[in-house]
Amino acid sequence: MIRVVVAARSSVVRAGLESVVRSSSSLDLAGALDLALVAEAQFEADVLLLEASETLPELPSPPVVLLMDTSDATLVSAALRSGIRGVISREASPEEIENAVQAVNAGLVVIEAGSLAALLRELRPPSEALSEPLSDRELEVLNLIAEGQSNKLIAHSLGISEHTVKTHVASILAKLGAASRTEAVSQAIRRGLVML
């Protein structure tokens, strides 16, 4: 069993995290406390599960999984630089939270796929920058291309017409300077736009 201490500023969020830990067969709730008390608290835990706040307290030694707004690559990057081992969305499901805790306990670093792509784009050398960035919809299409989906399947997945998908694919190829879908995926992986 992985001993988990949960900490959150909000008692409602704290209760929710406690419930997630208690309902897991692989996790054991070792304690719950207000986020403001984390730095001074004495507890024995394998993993600390925290709700993010504007400023993070000084963190104790167990590995930390942080629930936060993962859309801001700068915040995610700052969290990782501060030693946090897992960064997942506040909207994560109980299963995703449990998986993140297990992975961090095993010594892995956990970052939500969308956050990782944003981080890699932030870290990309300037020479790799696209002259015109891909739109959010083009990134969605590109990720589905990377999964091997046909235009018809992409259209169905996104609820758009096949003609619209073809337009997005043409735009993606032009922006990446790629001659084929395969080359576009290869370039996208190298540029950190797609995670496989």
Residue 124, pLDDT above cutoff 70: no
pLDDT tens-digit series, residues 28-85? 999 998 888 877 777 788 999 998 766 665 665 788 898 987 777 777 777 777 788 8
Determine if the pTM surpasses 0.95: no
Mean pLDDT of the chain: 85
- List the domain boundaries for the chain: 2-119, 126-190
Residue 109, pLDDT above cutoff 70: yes
Residue 89, pLDDT above cutoff 60: yes
Average pLDDT over residues 120-143: 75
Torsion, Cα 26 32 35 36, to 10 degrees, reads -150
d(CA 24, CA 46): 15
Angle at 49 between CA 102 and CA 9, to 5 degrees: 165
Nearest to 19 by CA among 62, 39, 49: 49
Contact call for residues 65 and 50 (beta carbons, < 8 A): yes
d(CA 54, CA 73): 15
Domain 2-119 has CATH 3.40.50.2300: yes
Q: Which pLDDT value is given to residue 126? A: 47
Q: Which pLDDT value is given to residue 191? A: 79
In percent, the amount of the chain with pLDDT more than 90 equals 43
Phi, psi of 144, deg, nearest 5: -70, -35
d(CA 181, CA 91): 32
Residue 116, pLDDT above cutoff 90: no
Domain boundaries 126-190, corresponding CATH code: 1.10.10.10
SS3 50: strand
At 192, the pLDDT band (50, 70, 90 cuts) reads: confident
Instruction: Check residue 161 and give left, alpha or beta (phi > 0: left; psi -120 to 50: alpha).
Output: beta
The beta strands (E) that lie in the chain are given as 2-8, 27-34, 47-51, 64-68, 86-89, 110-111
pLDDT tens-digit series, residues 9-32? 889 999 999 999 999 999 999 999
Q: Which pLDDT value is given to residue 6? A: 94
Average pLDDT over residues 103-114: 86
d(CA 115, CA 153): 25
